[in-house]
């Protein structure tokens, strides 16, 4: 016997039966639904107070000590570009993957996008602006020009800073992942060594062969008329 016949015998119309069933299902859903998470009201930008108050940070950049008032979470990259207006250091991926933001800290290369400015207080920071001048190029800058080791030039500051540190590593005998003997006190300069040590600096234009040549020239001896 159909449900319609049963409902009609009991004096209940089909429409009323469906409506009552819908109310039951709706009520059940209301009870079972999880409670919505409380929303956080947006702060008024005009009167918002910084979560972290700025503090005095002293940075030694290219031989000049400068004091900045910045939040402790500001990266060295943003301190250089946005606060000190030094655009030489480039912001690429901002995730430590491309190497465009490479600078030297106490002679060692670091990704400034992953380094907080407060972490390098009291250390010597060298950017591309501090390596040389148009009239007195650093040997690596001169080699990049001579070998045409760039195209668009966006990654070039990071490439050059990284290459300068690479040459220092070779002279110090620091081994790399491709060094035949990590215990050896000296490392032979090979193209594989250069490529491995420069692998953290990406060139989307593909100027890698000429970059390798430029690094090799400087590692073998400074170019005439340039500062080492």
Q: Which residues contact 127 (CB under 8 A, 6 or more apart)?
A: 61, 62, 80, 86, 88, 89, 103, 104, 157, 161
**Residue 127 near residue 103 (C-beta atoms within 8 A):** yes
Query: Which tokens hold the place of 47?
Result: 């009167």
For 97-114, write each residue's pLDDT tens digit: 999 999 999 999 999 999
Q: Worst-scoring range by mean pLDDT, 29-38, 147-156, 209-218?
A: 29-38
Is the pLDDT higher at 77 or at 1?
77
At residue 16, the pLDDT reads 61
Which tokens in the block code for residue 51?
A: 């979560």
Q: What is the CATH number of domain 131-228?
A: 1.10.150.120
Q: Average pLDDT of the chain? A: 84
Out of 17-26, 43-52, 217-226, give the one with best mean pLDDT.
217-226
Could you read off the pLDDT of 72-131 as tens digits, one per residue? 999 999 999 999 999 999 999 999 999 999 999 999 999 999 999 999 999 999 999 999
Distance between CA atoms of residues 106 and 53, nearest Å: 28
Confidence at residue 19, expressed as pLDDT on a 0 to 100 scale: 61
Query: Closest by alpha carbon to 130, among 78, 211, 59, 217?
Result: 59
% residues pLDDT > 90 (the chain):
68
Does CATH number 3.40.630.10 belong to domain 51-130? Answer: no
Of 134-138, 155-159, 182-186, which gets the smallest average pLDDT? 182-186
Q: What gap in Å lies between CA 141 and CA 228, rounded to an integer?
A: 10
Predicted confidence at residue 50, as pLDDT, reads 60
The burial class, CB within 10 Å (0-12 / 13-18 / 19+), for 224 is: exposed
11: left (phi over 0), alpha (psi -120 to 50) or beta: left
Continuous H helices in 33-180: 76-78, 139-147, 156-172
Tokens 């300068």 locate to 164
What are the extents of the domains in the chain?
A: 51-130, 131-228
Position 25 confidence tier, pLDDT thresholds 50, 70, 90: very low
Instruction: Report residue 7's pLDDT band, with 50, 70 and 90 as the boundaries.
Output: very low
* The token pair that represents 179 in the structure block: 């060094």
């Amino acid at each position: 016997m159909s449900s319609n016949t049963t409902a009609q015998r009991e004096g209940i119309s089909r429409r009323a039966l469906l409506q009552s069933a819908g109310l039951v299902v709706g009520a059940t859903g209301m009870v079972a639904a999880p409670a919505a998470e409380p929303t956080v009201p947006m702060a008024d930008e005009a009167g918002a107070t910084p979560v972290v108050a700025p503090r005095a940070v002293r940075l030694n950049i290219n031989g000049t000590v400068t004091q900045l008032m910045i939040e402790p979470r500001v990266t060295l990259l943003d301190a250089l570009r946005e606060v000190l207006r030094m655009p030489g250091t480039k912001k690429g991926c901002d995730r430590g993957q491309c190497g465009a933001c490479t600078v030297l800290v106490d002679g060692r290369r670091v990704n400034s996008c992953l380094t907080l400015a407060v972490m390098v207080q009291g250390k010597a920071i060298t950017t591309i602006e501090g390596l040389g001048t148009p009239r007195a190029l650093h040997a690596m800058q001169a080699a990049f020009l001579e070998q045409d080791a760039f195209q668009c030039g966006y990654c070039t500051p990071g490439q050059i800073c990284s290459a300068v540190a690479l040459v220092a590593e070779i002279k110090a005998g620091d081994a790399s992942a491709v060094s035949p003997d990590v215990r050896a006190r000296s490392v032979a300069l090979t193209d594989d060594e250069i490529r491995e040590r420069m692998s953290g600096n990406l060139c989307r234009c593909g100027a890698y062969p000429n970059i390798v040549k430029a690094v090799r020239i400087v590692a073998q001896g400074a170019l005439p008329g340039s500062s080492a």
